[in-house]
């Protein structure tokens, strides 16, 4: 996340993430699933603008009119939690410029929540350190702590136990956004257990930063379950495979799929090929965050 101050405003850029590896290890007593995942932040950003407001007033507006701005929104949940834990009674007006698709497996809501904790910490002059904010974030959502440790991390537990991971040179991706989102609960409900895979090799490969080495190691236990929810996931995955990138995979619980490319030229080629005709999906080329 990047934070800047412009006159009366604090602006935070909240990145998306992709999962290069995701294994489901079993269901926990608390109802969540135990996972092991390698996450990487990419340069697709939501933008949050914070401005101090009268005491007690927290207001959220969003460029997406179909996104709730009420207490169920993760931004509002993060803001309320921060006030409760610090005893702060200050207010804030928050504007969310939404670019990360919703229900897409890219962590947009979690990233927005992390950005909210970071931005309000500055606006309200609370003086909390990032590890403290990350601990609060874990109460808002499993993926929230990752964004305080980006660009890359190995995440375990329900995703909230974060171990920063070395990452080599920037990687190029093409993201394919289906015309539908998937509910995380629906996908996890269809997960079939399998022999657990180990993520050590892909963590080593990511540190070296070679797409040709990383590509064959991409894995997501949730992809088969997501395909059971909506069969179009398999169709889009085949479309990516036919273009022969270094690797291809679904991110998180879907619905976004991505192609890992050998460089910017291949990313351009793949994006143009995917946009040919009249597809029912949208496409974006992005690089990983530094």
Count CB atoms within 10 A of the CB of residue 266. 20
Q: For residue 30, what pLDDT is reported?
A: 87
Same domain for 113 and 219, yes or no, is no
Q: Which residues are catalytic?
A: 17, 143
Same domain for 62 and 125, yes or no, is yes
- Give the sheet arrangement for strand 172-177, strand by strand: 247-250, 257-261, 172-177, 282-287
Q: What does the block give as tokens for 102?
A: 């919703």
The helix-helix angle for 108-123 and 130-140 (nearest 10°) equals 130
Q: Which regions of the chain are under pLDDT 70?
A: none
Question: How many structural domains is the chain composed of?
Answer: 2
Same domain for 9 and 149, yes or no, is yes
Same domain for 41 and 153, yes or no, is yes
Beta bridge partners of 285: 174
Q: For residue 54, what pLDDT is reported?
A: 87
Same domain for 142 and 228, yes or no, is no
Integer Cα distance of 56 and 92 in angstroms: 8
Per the structure, the complete domain to which residue 42 belongs is given by 2-164
52, 31 contact by CB (below 8 A): no
Give me the CATH number covering residue 216. Answer: 3.30.70.890
Computed over its alpha carbons, how large is the radius of gyration of the chain?
19
Side-chain-facing half-sphere of 241: CA atoms under 13 Å: 10
Q: Domain ends where: 164, 182, 214?
A: 164
279, 131 contact by CB (below 8 A): no
Same domain for 142 and 76, yes or no, is yes
Q: For residue 63, what pLDDT is reported?
A: 96
Same domain for 134 and 195, yes or no, is no
Count CB atoms within 10 A of the CB of residue 214. 24
Q: Domain ends where: 164, 186, 206?
A: 164
pLDDT per residue as tens digits for the range 72-107: 999 999 999 999 999 999 999 999 999 999 999 999
pLDDT per residue as tens digits for the range 113-157: 999 999 999 999 999 999 999 999 999 999 999 999 999 999 999
Same domain for 205 and 129, yes or no, is no
Same domain for 23 and 155, yes or no, is yes
Same domain for 79 and 199, yes or no, is no
Q: For residue 193, what pLDDT is reported?
A: 81
Same domain for 31 and 141, yes or no, is yes
Same domain for 18 and 154, yes or no, is yes
């Amino acid at each position: 996340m990047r934070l800047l101050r412009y006159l009366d405003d604090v602006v935070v850029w909240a990145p998306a993430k992709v999962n290069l590896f995701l294994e489901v290890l079993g269901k926990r007593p608390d109802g969540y699933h135990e996972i092991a995942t390698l996450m990487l932040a990419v340069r697709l950003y939501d933008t949050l603008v914070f401005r101090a407001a009268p005491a007690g007033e927290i207001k959220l507006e969003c460029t997406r009119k179909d996104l709730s701005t009420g207490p169920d929104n993760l931004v509002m949940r993060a803001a309320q939690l921060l006030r409760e834990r610090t005893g702060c009674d200050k207010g804030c007006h928050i504007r969310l410029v939404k670019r990360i698709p919703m229900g897409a497996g890219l962590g947009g809501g979690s990233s927005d929540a992390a950005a909210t904790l970071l931005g309000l910490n500055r606006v309200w002059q609370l003086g909390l350190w990032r590890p403290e904010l990350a601990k609060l974030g874990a109460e808002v959502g499993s993926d929230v702590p990752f964004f305080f440790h980006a660009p890359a991390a190995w995440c375990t537990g329900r995703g909230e136990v974060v171990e920063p991971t070395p990452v080599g040179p920037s990687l190029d991706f093409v993201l394919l956004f289906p015309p539908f989102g998937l509910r995380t609960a629906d996908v996890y409900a269809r997960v079939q257990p399998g022999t657990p895979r180990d993520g050590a090799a892909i963590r080593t490969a990511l540190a070296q930063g070679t797409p040709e080495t990383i590509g064959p190691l991409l894995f997501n236990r949730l992809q088969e379950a997501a395909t059971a929810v909506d069969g179009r996931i398999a169709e889009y995955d085949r479309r990516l495979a036919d273009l022969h990138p270094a690797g291809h995979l679904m991110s998180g619980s879907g619905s976004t799929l991505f192609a890992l490319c050998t460089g910017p030229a291949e990313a351009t080629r793949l994006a143009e090929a995917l946009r040919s005709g009249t597809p029912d999906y949208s496409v974006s080329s992005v690089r990983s965050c530094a």
